[in-house]
Amino acid sequence: MNAPALRAVALSAGYRRRRRPTTTVLRDVHLAARPGELIALIGPNGAGKSTLLRTLVGAQPPLAGHVLLDGHDLASLSPRQRARRLAVTLTEPVDVGQMSAEEVVALGRLPYRSWLGRAADRDRAAVDRALVDAGVEDLRNRPLTDLSDGERQRVMVARALAQEPAVLVLDEPTAFLDVARRIELAAMLTRLTATTGAAIILSTHDLGFALRRADQVWLVGDDATVTAGAPEDLAHGHAVARVFAGENMSFDDAAATVVVADHTVPGATVRVDADGRTRQWAEHAVRRAGWSPGSSAEHVLRVEDGTPCRWRAEGPVRADGVGFGSLVTHLRDQTATAALQPHGNAGAAQ
């Protein structure tokens, strides 16, 4: 197994302030980011994700323990040495005036240039490679101010890649992106771990992304601890549920995310006869209506594929309709009748 590019060893993170007690946010943290890994840092708001990131990149000193970059104590490295191996992209927009995308990406080569600031052939090659790897080569001559949020975020990733880092840290890179741009960025980051060999660490509130895409998840709890592991191990071992689930919330294994707790009506079960995606979304509608998909012999729902779908309810109350919206309305109406209560009078509604 490859040696870690970044390690946290018995790390405690927090704040020292003059004339005020030290505030410890996280304690005794042990983490390892290896080359080629995509690592998602997740946890509730206020748990300490930003504090951990700032400590890992050297923006604030640890209260105890060490951060090792390529085996060297981060605190012992000069800013130039750090910048050659560690790149950071923040959420906040950066004001670069009318600089072009290529000029912004070229800023990533500053740690390698002489005091004269002249770009060498290697610098130009690194910039070209970073533009291609981040998928923004066709934007190189456009001012950063003219780009969309998604394009601007990819340019900033390219700027970080131009540093040729062993570790790339991104703080909430999808925070201001729409769904399509989030998917694009996620795919790009997954690809970059393979093409660059860098360890990529990103903080995110997107639990689904973390569990589906990450090679490793760092889970910050509300008890000053960080649990690291494969996403499947943390989900299967209930660690994710312990951190995120709560009143009216539960962890859905099939959806790999936290959902509003199921408030199904006791005994309100219906058998769904449908195929493929139609069945999947019909069962979704059934649950939203407060019912449970099951093997009921009394209540049967037959759903035909189409846009919109057509459905027919068979049982004590027969009905048919078009579209899942009308289906949900029908099922909710039935929960108020005696015929559809667990011990109700089935004949009353006929």
Ordered DSSP codes for 123-182: HHHHHHHHHHHTT-GGGTTSBGGGS-HHHHHHHHHHHHHTT--SEEEEESTTTT--HHHH
Count the helix, strand and coil residues of the chain and give each as a percent rounded to the nearest 5: 35, 25, 35
The arithmetic mean of pLDDT across residues 23-44, rounded, is: 95
Which range of 91-95, 208-212, 253-257 scores highest in mean pLDDT? It is 208-212
Long-range contacts of 271-278 (CB under 8 A, 24+ apart): 271/295, 271/296, 271/297, 271/299, 271/300, 271/301, 272/301, 272/303, 273/300, 273/301, 273/302, 273/303, 274/301, 274/302, 274/303, 274/304, 274/305, 275/305, 276/305, 278/303, 278/304, 278/305, 278/309
User: How confident is the model over 286-337, as pLDDT tens digits?
Assistant: 988 888 888 888 899 999 999 999 999 998 889 999 999 999 999 988 886 6
User: How confident is the model over 86-132, as pLDDT tens digits?
Assistant: 999 877 667 777 899 999 999 999 998 865 556 688 999 999 999 99
Please count the CA atoms within 13 angstroms of the CA of 308 that sit on its side-chain side. Answer: 10
Q: How far is the C-alpha of 323 from the C-alpha of 338, rounded, in Å?
A: 26
SS3 call for 27: strand
Topology adopted by domain 6-252 = Rossmann fold (3.40.50)
- What is the structure's pLDDT at 349? 35
Name 169's bridge partners: 88, 201
The arithmetic mean of pLDDT across residues 201-218, rounded, is: 92
- What is the structure's pLDDT at 261? 62
The arithmetic mean of pLDDT across residues 327-350, rounded, is: 61
Q: How far is the C-alpha of 122 from the C-alpha of 317, rounded, in Å?
A: 75
- What is the structure's pLDDT at 341? 47
- What is the structure's pLDDT at 347? 37
- What is the structure's pLDDT at 215? 95
Per-residue pLDDT for 185 more than 70? yes
User: How confident is the model over 123-158, as pLDDT tens digits?
Assistant: 999 999 999 999 899 999 999 989 888 888 889 999
The arithmetic mean of pLDDT across residues 174-203, rounded, is: 88
- What is the structure's pLDDT at 346? 38
Q: Where in the chain is the domain with CATH 3.40.50.300?
A: 6-252
Instruction: Please state the pTM of the whole predicted model.
Output: 0.80
- What is the structure's pLDDT at 16? 87
